């Protein structure tokens, strides 16, 4: 990321409130967000997105700071009713951003660990002279196999095995019976194992 780059604007076009918007406090804008006034979110974004961008960029240099800023303000919109004034609005915004960055970093660690675990070479291959090359090949094969899975199977695998969402919660979030989710997860794991073994899924 280049130093000093300006973050992108809020993706959803938002009208700003007409009556003296600059006179509205941050707390008043949060209260307006809580009752569904989209213009208030736009004003909060105008006031604070640069600070949030700098904060996120410092916490996660390898992340897409623009996306995390966008997500921060989406979470502000969703959670405005929970703001109780215990801290300044800017501090509250940075707290939301920090939680998002932490989830992003944890997710990256989990994804890398899961990919490494799934791509671990079987005993017969571990004795090969170029183990690193074999592991790279298996990791690439796994990535291709994951991309080739039908969407429903890929969602089940990523949600449960990579993101570690409990099965009951995942089924509820996807609107599925638990048995359906477990069947998709089983099929996804089977297909990925077959791909790593060099066979057809």
DSSP output for 120-150: PPPHHHHTSS-HHHHHHHHHHHHHHHHHHS-
Whole-model pTM?
0.50
Contact between 95 and 75 under an 8 Å Cβ cutoff? The reply is no
Contact between 90 and 73 under an 8 Å Cβ cutoff? The reply is no
What pLDDT is stored for residue 87 in this prediction? Answer: 80
Which of the two residues, 131 and 180, has the higher pLDDT score?
Answer: 180
Which of the following CATH numbers is that of domain 119-197: 1.20.1560.10, 1.10.10.10, 3.40.50.970, 3.30.230.70?
A: 1.10.10.10
Residue range 178-199: mean pLDDT, rounded: 81
What pLDDT is stored for residue 56 in this prediction? Answer: 85
CATH 1.10.10.10 residue ranges for the chain: 119-197
Give dist(CA 52, CA 168) in Å, integer. 34
Which of the following CATH numbers is that of domain 21-106: 3.40.50.2000, 3.40.640.10, 2.30.110.10, 1.10.1740.10?
A: 1.10.1740.10
CATH 1.10.1740.10 residue ranges for the chain: 21-106
Convert the pLDDT of each residue in 55-108 to its tens digit: 888 877 666 788 888 889 989 998 999 998 878 888 899 988 888 888 887 766
CA-CA-CA-CA dihedral for 31, 35, 36, 38, to nearest 10: -30
Q: Give the number of C-alpha atoms closer than 13 A to the C-alpha of residue 41, restricted to the C-beta side.
A: 25
- % of residues, the chain, pLDDT over 70: 70
CA dihedral over 162, 113, 1, 54, signed as positive or negative: positive
**Residues ≥6 apart with Cβ < 8 Å to 56:** 63, 65, 68, 69, 72, 97, 100, 101
């Amino acid at each position: 990321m280049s130093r000093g780059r300006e973050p992108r604007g809020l993706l959803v076009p938002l009208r700003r409130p007409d009556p003296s918007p600059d006179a509205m406090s941050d707390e008043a804008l949060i209260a307006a967000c809580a009752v569904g006034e989209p213009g208030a979110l736009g004003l909060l974004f105008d006031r604070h997105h640069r600070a949030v961008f700098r904060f996120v960029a410092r916490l996660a240099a390898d992340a897409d700071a623009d996306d995390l800023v966008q997500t921060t303000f989406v979470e502000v919109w969703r959670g405005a009713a929970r703001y109780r004034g215990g801290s300044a609005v800017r501090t509250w915004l940075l707290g939301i951003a920090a939680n998002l960055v932490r989830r992003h970093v944890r997710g990256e660690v989990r994804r890398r660990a899961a990919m490494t675990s799934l791509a671990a070479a079987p005993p017969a291959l571990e004795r090969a002279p170029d183990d690193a090359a074999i592991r790279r090949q298996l990791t690439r094969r796994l990535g291709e196999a994951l991309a080739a899975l039908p969407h429903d199977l890929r969602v089940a695998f990523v949600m449960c095995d990579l993101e570690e969402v409990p099965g009951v919660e995942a089924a509820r979030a996807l609107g599925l019976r638990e048995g359906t989710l477990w069947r998709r997860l089983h099929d996804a794991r089977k297909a990925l194992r077959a791909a790593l073994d060099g066979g057809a899924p």
